[in-house]
Amino acid sequence: MFVIVYTTVSLICLIHAQFRPILSSHIEIMPDSLYEVAYERHFIDELDVQTVQQCAHQCLLNDHCRTATFYHQSKTCSLYEEYTYVGTIQSTANDVATVIQIRLCSNSFYEPEYVCFNDDRVPVLFSEMLQNMTVKQVVNVISYMLFMSRTKLYLPIDSDDTIQVYDLESLLQTDEFSAVPSVSLNGLDVDSNDNYIMTDYNGSLYFFNSSSSIVTSLSVSNNQYYYACISDKYIVALYSNLNGADVFNATNLQFAFTITTAYTMTNCIIVDNRIFHSQGDYHNYVIDIDSAARATQLFNYSACGSYDNTTDADHFYIDASGRFYIPCVLSKDFTYQVFDYNGQNHVTSFDTVKYPSICGIAAKCSKYKCTVAVYDGVVTVYEY
């Protein structure tokens, strides 16, 4: 039996000449433990350091880092965007690893309901923040499946083969490329290594390796796919006109197994080795992929309100504070319902993104600002 000891350290007004002043951060040190990230795109970097203190310092200096793991033998420091409650803390033997968490909220405020910053602003309710954001950029393109990395905004252009890339800090376009030339994109997802999984309007499925630029077509029994989601371990491809999905190993692109359902799966995201998806109405399901390479339904939950409302076919999204965005059609308007995902066998609705008629969303908060990009006929980027 391992006992995790929490050590809380408060840093007030830590100043570094090349970085922003850190006005107030609370650090929790958890010896003999390591962190397993829930959403692999929230991994930031791995650095060479000598001590736990140096690892904590690197996390403090990174605008997006909320959790770090120091590995004592290799002298490496893994940085993550997520708060520890989003993923999983595992106990280890003595002096194997130490987890460091930076907490921005004071004791009377809690994320994800609140948004807390590492400056002199008071915590703000997430719903209040959404109503007071400033428009920073408008891009006149059709992009339902927009997503963010730590530093970039990606806009896959619907019914086209083009993906536009914007710098998140300046919001200037930095790149435009075609991962699969002459293919009309329908769905797109990306793993933590910037490898893409894509579907087109003909039901074809493609994997794009960003390192080699090699495109691989994937299929089983000539199945056609509407949408696919990817993690570093699995690719889940949803059937276009059938119930269920095919699952491939992301490492070798080989077929693994089939998920059989009594309904058509309309969208998905892989979080904590679980497939979150909907059947296109207010029913949403969570399936666990275990080590035996099979899928087991864990639980289901209602989203988007009632029988009169439905879950739309646009993609799910999760941010580093565990805010889980689910696309809804509410009273004939498109919007997003926001859930609190804490790694347990439930998700709790606590807010609705009150932008009318949006069909796609990506959101990211650093220690100093929040950026939300939505598609509502054009792509609008908001900042708080």
Report the pLDDT value the prediction gives residue 333, as an integer from 0 to 100.
Answer: 47
* pLDDT confidence tier of residue 63, bands split at 50, 70 and 90: very high
Residues of the chain with CATH 3.50.4.10: 7-103
Tell me how far apart the alpha carbons of residues 256 and 231 are, in angstroms, rounded to a whole number. Answer: 14
Interval 285-305: pLDDT, tens? 677 776 445 555 555 555 565
Report the pLDDT value the prediction gives residue 354, as an integer from 0 to 100.
Answer: 47
According to CATH, the superfamily of the domain at 125-383 is TolB, C-terminal domain (2.120.10.30)
- Is the CB of residue 258 less than 8 Å from the CB of residue 244? yes
Average pLDDT, the chain: 80
Interval 25-50: pLDDT, tens? 688 999 999 999 999 999 999 999 99
Residues of the chain with CATH 2.120.10.30: 125-383
- Residue 352 corresponds to which tokens in the numbers above? 């609705």
Give percent of the chain above pLDDT 70. Answer: 77
Which is nearest to 382 in space by CA: 124, 128, 129? 129
* pLDDT confidence tier of residue 5, bands split at 50, 70 and 90: very low
Tell me how far apart the alpha carbons of residues 221 and 209 are, in angstroms, rounded to a whole number. Answer: 23
* pLDDT confidence tier of residue 12, bands split at 50, 70 and 90: very low
Give percent of the chain above pLDDT 90. Answer: 41
CATH 3.40.47.10 is right for the domain spanning 7-103: no
Place of tokens 């490329």: 177
In order, the DSSP letters of 255-293 are: EEEEE--SS---EEEEETTEEEEE-SSSEEEEEEE-TTS
